[in-house]
Structure 1
Amino acid sequence: MGHIHQHDTEAMGDRRLLAAIAANMLLTLAQVVGGILSGSLALIADALHNFSDAAALLIAWVARRIGRQPADHLKTFGYKRAELIAALINLVVLVVIGLYLVYQALWRVFEPQVIQGWTVVIVAGIALAVDVVTAMLTYRLSKQSMNVRAAFLHNVSDALASVGVIVAGTLILLYDWYWTDTVLTLVIAGYVLYQAFTLLPKTIHILMQGTPEGISIDEVIKAMEQVDKVLNVHHVHLWQVDEHRNSVEAHVVIADFADTETVKAALKQELEQRFAIAHSTLEFEVEHCGFGRC
């Protein structure tokens, strides 16, 4: 029953992602058309951000399906890291988009264009509604996946950007402040780059088999050495298989091989309960004494 419930939950999550992808693709098309008709670079900038969100959701959806494949003789740890690879692709694309928007905004300073404020306000209002709906669709999934969480944060930032675009369009209508469009484009680009550079280090850290966040390798060694009959722990490697699974391998020195199973069980229990390390590979060694030395 548990397996069936999990399958139903995953299927529902996939449907939510597909609905969010469809909504963002339609929104991107509407914003591009509106930006071209109105001459608003900020609207096109927001459209590019929405397109990156749709692409991120699509890649995350594909990665989720790949990640559910069981381990085999080629991928003995399974395929869960497909989602991390997808996150890395999405973040790199975000950096490129952010830098492109900065370039376009600075170029617009030297070649200003007339902007139709009403078109900007109407299209941005539609964008705000779609962003809110998309954020609602992905909120629950964002708690379980780095990819979906990144997409969720992008949608929230899109909603804020849409609010900013509406404000800029209103200022253009009331006061002819066309410069607000350029300023807003730079703000959106800055936020895109901020998000990308915030999430990139964590994604790369996991792919580089870095130590899990919040876990000190010294504390792990100390806790293992405090287990009864453990004399020494060395050659320790601690890493994340994916964002939900931590692993460790270590050499454990004990006095008698007869205590191996007892010590192993105690160590595994300590690692799982204290550090949430469910997978551990332990190699046991016996302290040998000879010629008066140990």
Structure 2
Amino acid sequence: MGHSHSHHGQHGHHHHHIDPEAGDRQVAFAVAINLLLTVAQIVGGVISGSIALIADAVHNLSDAISLLIAFFARKIARRPADAQMTFGYGRAEMVAALVNYTTLIVISLYLAWEGVQRLIDPPAIQGWTVVIVAGIALVIDLATALLTLKLSKDSANIRAAFVHNLSDALGSLGVIIGGVLVILYDWRLIDPIITLLIAGYILWLAATEIGPVIRNLMLASPPDHSAEDLLNHIQGEEGVAAAHHLHLWQMTEHEAALQVHVVVSDPDWSSAMVIRDRVRAMLTDKGISHVTLEIETASEACPNAPAIGH
């Protein structure tokens, strides 16, 4: 975006209170502890012959991978616009979030499937090993969650990795509760029931969070702006005869862009420019950071153009 814009309105507090480099370090650290745990669990699983340990290692590996995807997306997103990507690379984060939520939905469906199978045919008791393993995993999952908690508030990308991690933490918690109850009371059905509850919850989380991500990638209008509303405001400005071909979309998660054809009632060039500046100022004021206006006089305006879109 070569030129800087002044940010007004609701976008004034431009979510940059977290230094991006510090954020990167937190995510990198989260990746590291998950990878270390994965390796430790695989080694432990092979030595002790515990399938549970190896299964849990796979969980932590999936966490590490989703965090890695988020980490690289963050890096890419900060690259400046170039001839290839004239809008900049900001959407890399949305693509990463889409990938992470999609895999999460697949994982939760698989979990649900497993839960149903174990309801039909409850497995034998696994013993204390599994509970202890899950306890260690829970500690790591919570540490990872804490590392990414603050970042996840502002970024859909990190939020996707965070939800991945949360799902793992819930999984470990479920194993602990289910395992203890099975060991103490031989209540075998509790494990699949907990599994199904967790799977349902993760599925609901991922499905609700993936919506805004898809909307953003589909160039939907930003949630805090209405295209009709802005169109009315533009047409209500003094000197504006009509407006059409309005496009409103999100450049990045926190920046909205708008382009529109404005028909001015006064064909005189200098007064047309005054009208243009007035419209631009009004839009910038409303928190639209990228405004592109095409000025037309009533005589040469596009005939029967749709007000919104082409």
Specify if TM > 0.5: yes
SS of corresponding position for 1:278: strand
SS of corresponding position for 1:260: helix
Answer with 53-62 or 114-123: which moved more. Answer: 114-123
Partner of 2:292: 281
Do 1:72 and 1:78's aligned partners in 2 also have CA atoms closer than 8 Å? yes
Answer with 215-224 or 177-186: which moved more. Answer: 177-186
Residue deviations 1:14-49, cap 9 Å, x none? 1110111122234445667669966669x94x6655
Q: How many angstroms apart in 2 are the aligned matches of 1:163 and 1:104?
A: 17
Partner of 2:30: 20
Q: Does 1:162 align with 2:177?
A: no
| Within-5 A mapping of 1:75-114 | 75-114=85-124
Do 2:248 and 2:257's aligned partners in 1 also have CA atoms closer than 8 Å? yes
Q: Does 1:219 align with 2:219?
A: no
- Name stretches of at least 5 consecutive residues in structure 2 with no aligned partner: 1-15, 301-310
| Within-5 A mapping of 1:193-272 | 193-256=203-266, 257-272=269-284
Residue deviations 1:259-284, cap 9 Å, x none? 2332222222221222x211011111
Identify if the C-alpha distance between structure 1 residues 48 and 232 changes in structure 2 by more than 3 Å, giving closer, same or farther: farther
**Amino acid of the residue matched to residue 130 of structure 1?**
I
Residue deviations 1:88-119, cap 9 Å, x none? 11111112212222222223344432223312
SS of corresponding position for 1:288: helix
**Amino acid of the residue matched to residue 134 of structure 1?**
T
Do 1:52 and 1:93's aligned partners in 2 also have CA atoms closer than 8 Å? no
SS of corresponding position for 1:281: strand
Do 1:52 and 1:94's aligned partners in 2 also have CA atoms closer than 8 Å? no
Q: How many angstroms apart in 2 are the aligned matches of 1:199 and 1:277?
A: 24
| Within-5 A mapping of 1:68-147 | 68-147=78-157
Q: How many angstroms apart in 1 are the aligned matches of 2:79 and 2:171?
A: 37
SS of corresponding position for 1:79: coil
Relative CO higher for 1 or 2, CA cutoff 8 Å, sep ≥ 6? Answer: 2
SS of corresponding position for 2:83: coil
How many residues are aligned here? 280
Identity of aligned residues (%): 46
Do 1:94 and 1:196's aligned partners in 2 also have CA atoms closer than 8 Å? yes
Q: How many angstroms apart in 2 are the aligned matches of 1:26 and 1:184?
A: 28
- Name stretches of at least 5 consecutive residues in structure 1 with no aligned partner: 1-5, 290-294
Do 1:38 and 1:117's aligned partners in 2 also have CA atoms closer than 8 Å? no
Do 1:88 and 1:203's aligned partners in 2 also have CA atoms closer than 8 Å? yes
Partner of 1:185: 195
Q: How many angstroms apart in 1 are the aligned matches of 2:103 and 2:156?
A: 16
Do 1:229 and 1:255's aligned partners in 2 also have CA atoms closer than 8 Å? yes
**Amino acid of the residue matched to residue 12 of structure 1?**
A
Do 2:119 and 2:193's aligned partners in 1 also have CA atoms closer than 8 Å? no
Answer with 118-127 or 199-208: which moved more. Answer: 118-127
Q: How many angstroms apart in 2 are the aligned matches of 1:118 and 1:172?
A: 10
Identify if the C-alpha distance between structure 1 residues 26 and 53 changes in structure 2 by more than 3 Å, giving closer, same or farther: same
- TM-score, structure 2 normalization: 0.81
Do 2:100 and 2:164's aligned partners in 1 also have CA atoms closer than 8 Å? no
Q: How many angstroms apart in 1 are the aligned matches of 2:35 and 2:204?
A: 23
Residue deviations 1:114-166, cap 9 Å, x none? 22331232122222221221122112211221110222233334334433322
Q: How many angstroms apart in 2 are the aligned matches of 1:156 and 1:224?
A: 44
Do 1:40 and 1:181's aligned partners in 2 also have CA atoms closer than 8 Å? no
Do 2:104 and 2:164's aligned partners in 1 also have CA atoms closer than 8 Å? no
Q: How many angstroms apart in 1 are the aligned matches of 2:130 and 2:164?
A: 20
Do 2:170 and 2:198's aligned partners in 1 also have CA atoms closer than 8 Å? no
From the two aligned structures, give the one with the greater helix fraction.
Answer: 1
Q: How many angstroms apart in 1 are the aligned matches of 2:241 and 2:41?
A: 66
SS of corresponding position for 1:212: coil
Root-mean-square deviation (Å): 2.7
SS of corresponding position for 1:253: strand
Q: How many angstroms apart in 2 are the aligned matches of 1:231 and 1:281?
A: 18
Identify if the C-alpha distance between structure 1 residues 95 and 126 changes in structure 2 by more than 3 Å, giving closer, same or farther: same
